[in-house]
Structure 1
Amino acid sequence: MLSSIRASRGSVFGWIIMGLLIVGLAGFGFTSVLSGGVVTSVAEVGEEEVTVDEFANAFQTRLRGISQQIGTPITTTQAREIGLDDAILGELIRNAALLGEARTLGIDTSDEVVRDALIREPAFQDISGNFDADLYRLAIETSGISAAEYDEQLRRGTTRDLIALAMTSSVTLPRGAAREILSFQGEGRAFDWVRVPGSAFTDRVGSPSDAQLEAFIADNRDAFVTPETRSVTYALLDPTVLAETIDIPEAALREEYDRNIDRFTREERRIVDRIAFPTMADAEAAATALAEGQTSIGEIASARGLTAADFSLGSVTRGAIGGAAGEALFGRDSTGIVGPVTTDIGPALFRINAILSAQEITFEQARDDLRTELALFEADGIVINETIRAEELILGGATLEEVAAETAFTLQTAEVNRNTPADTIIGAPAFLGEAFTAPLGMDRDPIQTETGAVFALRVESVAEPALPPLNDIRDAVTAAWTEAQAVAEARNAAARLISGLTVDGPDLSAIAAQFGTDVQSVEPIRRDARPDGIPAGLVPLIFTMDEGDVALVEDAQGAVIFQLTEIDTFDPASDTGRGLVDFVTFQSATGAQQDVIAYFTNARSTERGLRINTQIIDQVLSQIP
């Protein structure tokens, strides 16, 4: 514990040292710590590089897109936790492998093809669908790259897509296969069912003899054996308990509130979309079309190749927008279109989607939370100091009793087994793990739990697993035996009821009446459905039956009798059916095409050599918030 505390205190200096080792150069180039040279790639596939710029730009673009979609900023650390960096690197490595293949085959994209692709790019087209040079220049200016760099990216992307298309153009799923898949997955079955419960037979079960109980115990020994139990003495220091004894002066609470005022006040905000235009005339024309109901913001964005992530600003404040746009947006008290307004990226239209009122938490409202926070902070400091003191005492041979007498730790005892409920003992996972690995009679070193509490324990005695005498567990064994007999009776009764059904069909309502319950009806369900209250084996079984058939399924409560009432087949000729066939055909082909590209690029990467510079990747990501 002492070493870990010292290590954590020193970790700040470790990060400072690492920060001094990282030297950011222009264009996201990095100085290699090992070689001293400038590294410009994060990965290489043969002779093709995934540059630092490519990786950094792709990561930042995806990070912004996700943040806008969910309405809250995502940090680089959070993105890495969900594997976003690995996913982006994988995409870029596949792209590099495809470009390497194009180089090997001598395939490139001509200037004419690049020009045509540029002209067809929706983002550079005006409302009429024609190429707009002003939009192109605006996009280049705001992207941070030159026109030549953009054209080269377009050339490489077109070349890469050509190679991918050549590999996947013939990869399709026959419509007949899609129909078969949907006929299987889309079929539904409806049924009625009634439960024959073991509880209905409990009164019919007699009292068991000792011999019957002993036999039942022998067949179910694990259910009655007591678990290994350990008697433990432990010293505990819990910061949450300690915090309750700490008094925080009113002046300190007020100072903390003032220092963190941003936590307790929130400016008025607007959830806003923005679309920029090359000229004010274009913006005014779009505003008129919107006012007259001829188009919508979404249609304007779609016509220009913009996604929601491209034109959504999310939640903004007046200060964040600033200028005439801020005045226009926050001078309006209702949602709708605002503008056109001159902004730093040109004339723009805004759409207010929602208005979030300003909020304030007063000092009086925040006082209790502040007191708890400050008291816990102070308590954490005490816990660290007292833990260090406890370690020193134990190292010097002190017992837990002596530790409790000389520090803020309190001495307690407990009887625990591996099934001890987590809410009955603090830091249960860590505590139980320590209790069941500690040797008998040893005063162990302090351990910190997930909640910040610290304990040190000593195992006093160990009671091995044992089967108690019948008289000690008679009530529990009798209850379990009675329940098992009642369930068996219910299953036998269900089997007799099915065998006695008439040729005209079952009367499930009559069966339900015998047990004081109702017939349940289930509308058509698919093969992957798992309705509540239904035994797991029932659904697969109904898909083997004919309409009108009856069967039963046993479960822990007794048995369920059910009758198949309807078979709902998938109709590929219906409007819905044709749409689903088209969708499955497209989705399956797309998935297969992606698999072909992945298999090919993985093979090429292995064949030509794949090198990934994880050190540079970490350095790049460390500079992105």
Structure 2
Amino acid sequence: MLGSMRASKKNQTLVWVIFGLLVIGLIGFGGATSGPGTIRSVAQVGDEKISVDSYVAAVQNRIQVVSQQFGRNLSGPEAQALGVQQAVLSELITSAAIDNEAAKIGLSLGDEAVRSELLTTDAFLGLDGKFNKESYNLVLERSQLSPTQYDEILRKNAARTMVNTAITSGVGAQDSQTLQILTYVAEQRDFSWVELTDSDLDSPITPPNETEIQAQYDTNTATYTAPLTRKITYVLLTPEMLESEAEIDEADLQEAYKLQNDRFNQAERRLVERLVFSDQAEAETARNALDAGTKTFDDLLKERGLSANDADLGEIEINDVSKDAATVVFGSSDAGVVGPVQSSLGPALYRINAILKAESTSFEEARDELTAELAGEITRR
């Protein structure tokens, strides 16, 4: 787990280094929009902005794909040499231009179409081939997306497809234009090549004298004059080359570890939905219906005019709910419905959709990673 985490962190560090270089270039050309000390977007087409997060995520995904093709993790210079950041930015700008045009003409995917797309997405299907809420939540969690953000992505992709289709198939070529292109591509040329020598001339060529040579030179001085040049020697020195020379204090390593405690030590988390009732009796009745199999948790939501999103608490830790609720929710070793138990809003049933185990990385395990990061920061100053 630590190995994969280190690889991921190195990729993220690489992405932010590449992003920093891009931002320096964008600021020089007026392409980056920034607030007081914070750059929020890397480019903008019309009203459509390309955020820092979306750019970083796209670069990171591209680096992972290319790294898989090479069979190893790419270094910073390799990613730059392959033009990863330029290619990703170009693609994002193209998409932003299409999104901006779609927004201008009011193209959007309807709610029913979004729902149909969600229900048929392979990544969200369970073992029975039907939409599975747990799979849906886990995929979005790994992608660091909320349901609202994912719905927006679906709508933009659909609108983008409609614009692309209109561009590529909406205008047909005229017959005369097609004929011209076909004639250009298919036409051929026949020619004869004949070598002429001195023997083919009516009279021999007389060599020029000194006066003629000087006159030719004076008339065309620029042709015979080379521009002023300089030969230089340079040394390429990158921060990565100096990392081994950086001196890292033990106290700084300890401080960096403490400041990033949430990164190296994640408590157990659970994906939970909560359904609150007006009193304990109503909650007990609902629980009995669940146990008898006459109703499901979704049936209870519908009876109260609620959707799964209304009850969704997302990803929670043990301190995010009341003490009584924490005891029941985090005391269960399996997913499912627990309760009723007293919550901050009243008696409630909780549905546990997924259990995310705690992850802990000790200081000694994180030492090498922290050392590399601090060395990189020092050499870039």
TM-score bracket, normalised by the shorter chain, equals: 0.3 to 0.5
Which structure's residues are more often helix, by fraction?
2
Whichever of the two has the greater Rg, that structure is 1
TM-score (norm 2): 0.36
Ranked by relative contact order (alpha carbons within 8 Å, sequence separation 6 or more), the top structure is 1
Which structure's residues are more often strand, by fraction?
1
